[in-house]
């Protein structure tokens, strides 16, 4: 199906003009398989990126000197 065929089919189904549909930028659905690794979120890694100190962290030298 070409882009023009898709635009005409959507225009017929929605009642919009082909010109309006072409401006909206519809594209054919891509049915390529998605890797399973892309579907999981490593929440530990996300938490490490968001981790901020509540109190200022002292260096080991400052800690031992106190």
Containing domain of residue 48, as a range? 3-65
Identify whether the C-beta of residue 14 lies closer than 8 Å to the C-beta of residue 4.
no
pTM value? 0.45
Q: Number of structural domains, the chain?
A: 1
In three-state form (DSSP H/G/I as H, E/B as E, the rest C), the secondary structure along the chain is CCHHHHHHHHHHHHCCCHHHHHHHCCCCCCCCCCCHHHHCCCHHHHHHHHCCCCCCCCCHHHHHHC
Task: Give the pLDDT confidence of 3-58 residue by residue, as tens digits.
Answer: 999 999 999 999 999 999 999 999 888 777 767 666 788 899 888 888 777 777 77
For the four alpha carbons of 12, 16, 20 and 25, in that order, the dihedral sign comes to negative
């Amino acid at each position: 199906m070409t882009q023009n065929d898709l635009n005409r089919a959507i225009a017929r189904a929605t009642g919009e003009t082909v010109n309006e549909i072409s401006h909206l930028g519809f594209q054919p659905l891509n049915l390529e398989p998605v890797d399973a690794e892309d579907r999981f979120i490593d929440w530990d890694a996300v938490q490490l990126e968001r981790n901020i100190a509540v109190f200022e962290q002292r260096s080991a030298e400052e800690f031992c000197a106190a």
